[in-house]
Structure 1
Amino acid sequence: MKRSPFPFTEQSVLVHCITNEITNELLANALLFVGAKPIMAEDPREFADLFEQTDSILLNLGRISPAKEQALKIASHMATQPIVLDIVGVAASSLRLALSKELAVNATVVKGNISEMRSFCGLATKSRGVDGSPFDQQAAEMDELITALKKLPSTTTYLATGPTDVIVQGETVLLLENGVAELDSFTGTGDIVGALIASVLGAGYPSLEATRLAVSYFNLCGEAAKKSLVQPMGLADFRQETCNQLSLLHQTCWQKQMKGKNYE
Structure 2
Amino acid sequence: MPMSLIEHFTAAFHLPLPLHAAPLVQCLTNEISVESVANALLAINAKPVMADDLREITGFMAQSDAVLLNLGHLSADREASIRLASQAAQAQQRPVVIDLVGIGASPIRAQLGQQLLAEKPMVVKGNLGELRHLVGLPSQARGVDNSQADSADLALAGLAHRLQTFAQAYPHTVFLATGPTDIVATATTAWRLDNGVAQLDRFTGTGDIVGALIAALLGSGLAALPATVLAVSYFNRCGEAAALLASKAGLATFRLNVFDQLSQLGQDPEWFLAVKGENYGS
Length-normalised TM-score, structure 1:
0.96
Once the two structures are superposed, the pairs formed by residues 8-19 of structure 1 within 5 Å of their partners are 8-9=19-20, 11-19=21-29
| Aligned-partner Cα distance in 1 for 2:210–2:86 | 19
Aligned to 2:203: 186
State the 1:81 CA deviation. Answer: 0.5
Counterpart code for 2:139? T
| Aligned-partner Cα distance in 1 for 2:18–2:118 | 30
Select which of 109, 115, 122 maps to 1:108. 122
For 1:82-120, what per-residue CA distance to the aligned partner results, in whole angstroms no more than 9, with x for missing partners?
Answer: 000001111211111111111112311000110010011
Aligned to 1:74: 84
State the 1:5 CA deviation. Answer: 4.1
Contact 1:5 1:200 in 2 (8 A): no
Counterpart code for 1:38? P
For 1:8-40, what per-residue CA distance to the aligned partner results, in whole angstroms no more than 9, with x for missing partners?
Answer: 22x310000001210011100100011000000
Aligned to 1:247: 263
* Alignment of 1:222 onto 2:239: yes
Contact 2:185 2:191 in 1 (8 A): yes
State the 1:217 CA deviation. Answer: 0.4
Counterpart code for 1:49? G
Counterpart code for 1:159? L
Contact 1:179 1:222 in 2 (8 A): yes
Look up the SS of the partner of 2:32 in the other structure: coil
| Aligned-partner Cα distance in 1 for 2:65–2:199 | 32
* Alignment of 1:26 onto 2:16: no
Length-normalised TM-score, structure 2:
0.90
| Aligned-partner Cα distance in 1 for 2:160–2:75 | 31
Contact 2:37 2:212 in 1 (8 A): yes
Contact 2:58 2:85 in 1 (8 A): no
State the 1:259 CA deviation. Answer: 1.2
Counterpart code for 1:160? A
Aligned to 2:172: 155
* Identity rate, percent: 47
| Aligned-partner Cα distance in 2 for 1:159–1:250 | 22
Q: Over aligned residues, Cα RMSD in angstroms?
A: 1.1
| Aligned-partner Cα distance in 2 for 1:125–1:230 | 33
| Aligned-partner Cα distance in 2 for 1:8–1:104 | 29
| Aligned-partner Cα distance in 1 for 2:234–2:22 | 18
- Residues 67 and 5 (structure 1 numbering): CA distance in 2 closer, same or farther, change over 3 Å? farther
* Alignment of 1:235 onto 2:251: yes
What runs of 5+ residues in structure 1 fail to find an aligned partner?
none
Aligned to 2:17: 6
Q: More relative contact order in 1 or in 2 (CA 8 Å, sep 6+)?
A: 2
For 1:44-84, what per-residue CA distance to the aligned partner results, in whole angstroms no more than 9, with x for missing partners?
Answer: 21122211110000000000000000111111111120000
* Alignment of 1:87 onto 2:100: yes
| Aligned-partner Cα distance in 2 for 1:168–1:57 | 21
State the 1:230 CA deviation. Answer: 3.9
Aligned to 1:99: 112
State the 1:139 CA deviation. Answer: 2.4
State the 1:131 CA deviation. Answer: 0.3
Select which of 142, 148, 153 maps to 1:128. 142
Q: How many residues align?
A: 262
Once the two structures are superposed, the pairs formed by residues 35-46 of structure 1 within 5 Å of their partners are 35-46=45-56
Residues 75-84 or 133-142, more deviating: 133-142
State the 1:263 CA deviation. Answer: 0.9
Contact 1:154 1:169 in 2 (8 A): yes
What runs of 5+ residues in structure 2 fail to find an aligned partner?
1-9
For 1:193-218, what per-residue CA distance to the aligned partner results, in whole angstroms no more than 9, with x for missing partners?
Answer: 00000000000001000000000000
Runs of 4+ off more than 6 Å: none
| Aligned-partner Cα distance in 2 for 1:97–1:154 | 21
For 1:137-156, what per-residue CA distance to the aligned partner results, in whole angstroms no more than 9, with x for missing partners?
Answer: 22232222122211222210
